Amino acid sequence: MERGSAPRLFGTNGIRGVPNRDLTVEFAQSIGKSIGTFFRAREVAMGRDTRLSGQMIMGAVQSGLNSTGTDTVDLGILPTPALQYYCKNTGMPGVMITASHNPPQYNGIKCIDSDGSELAREKEREIEVIHHSGQFHSADWNSVGRNRWDSTAEELYVRGVASRVSVDRIRASAFRVALDTGNGASYRTSPELLSRYGASVTTLNSNPDGLFTARPSEPVEANLKALISTVRSGGYDLGVAHDGDADRCVFVDERGQFVDGDRSLALIVRHTARNGDVVVTPVSTSDAIEEVCSEVGARVVRTVVGAPVVIRTMIETGARVGGEENGGVIFGPHQYCRDGAMTMSLVLDLMARTGRKLSELLKEVPEYHMFKASVERKKPWEEVLPLVLKYAEGRKVDRTDGVKVFHENGWVLLRPSGTEAIIRIYAQSRDRGYARELGEEYREFLEGAQLR
């Protein structure tokens, strides 16, 4: 079968859909067979987040893997980066059942390579080709795979994260932290880390709830009112929030002010990148990253949106740090993946090392304002794209990913989501009002353009 003829299944971050509608048991089992045929590994590690459909989808993928003669190692509910750390340390490939920040009705299948990084796009393509061809490896009856349980992954991960910071220094600071795990996969690991750091911790939504009853999974300001209110009640040094699979982390400073992931990324880069380093980030990140890197003598490399591409570029260029504007920081010395607990630990270590509050540290970061929105994608992106280019005629345009249009006092990026049927809008300016105005202008344009 020709590689180019196989329709795409993997989006920006794995395969996603609504169980029993897009993500049926039969489909998940077929993907399991495809993964097993592709890897031809003796064992594959598996984990899941707290979603209600997790066991069902995981069981289907497991049976598909078993049919190819592949054993699976069930690590239970744990953050995606914890599964990735397990894969890195055991040399096993892995499969994570998660839809990350998406609403609770979604779930997904994400493949992890044996080095712990998200599977490269070309390897995902191979799995798609196998799935569409139906040419699966089928083991003899006495060689089918079996499943075993391993309860050590969480402790391995927590120790690994803690080993990258000065635990004694953080403990000496005796931080007070409010932590919102959003009923997701970090409900055990992040509280445990903070306990080892000697922090006094108030937890919010730190119980597994696959319906995300307390708040939507995505850790944006509108969804973190309870955390912000808790920090504002006084006496806290930091507020921390994760998404459903805890590969992201955002902060609330000691005054109760929400900190956009774009700014926390720039802050970490400023104190981590060194002269001559490469810092990798997608085109959706603000220009603050360029200014920060210029200060320390590092070079910025821009990529398309999506952690797998950022990670591959980091590996290829030897970058120590990179990440996305959504709270997804990638710290290479630990592992090449977005890691919410590592991000939390880096910020606590920075606060302990400098003896400064987060709000004070953020004064070092150039202030750019980001406005984010989305519109339902009613037409194929290929039909919308010419209309966008015509609307942007006469302006500088970057086509790295979607269309990034530069205006005199800011820019706007329009790109089709790789996980949902929407077009994402990112607008940036030093002026908060102008960023919103620019984003709203293009939202109105997109809504009208799709009616033509």
Which DSSP string corresponds to 110-154?
EEE-TTSSBPPHHHHHHHHHHHHHT------GGG---EEE---HH
Domains of the chain: 3-151 (3.40.120.10), 156-362 (3.40.120.10), 369-449 (3.30.310.50)
Distances (CA, A) of 334 to 51, 61, 185, 301, 416: 27, 29, 20, 20, 31
The pLDDT of residue 183 is 97
The pLDDT of residue 452 is 67
Mapped onto helix, strand or coil, the DSSP state of residue 179 is: strand
d(CA 43, CA 146): 9
Tell me the pTM: 0.93
The pLDDT of residue 390 is 95
Catalytic choice (30, 34, 100, 217): 100
Q: Which residue is associated with the tokens 């890897």?
A: 39
Contact 167, 197 (CB under 8 A): yes
Cα–Cα nearest to 405, from 368, 441, 369, 450: 441
Contact 402, 415 (CB under 8 A): yes
Active-site residue, 100 included = yes
Please identify every stretch of the chain with a pLDDT value under 70, giving residue numbers as ranges: 1-6, 452
d(CA 362, CA 367): 9
d(CA 92, CA 273): 30
List residues bridging with 48 in a β-sheet.
Answer: 77, 97
Taking all residues of the chain, what is their mean pLDDT, rounded to a whole number? 95
The pLDDT of residue 387 is 94
d(CA 1, CA 88): 32
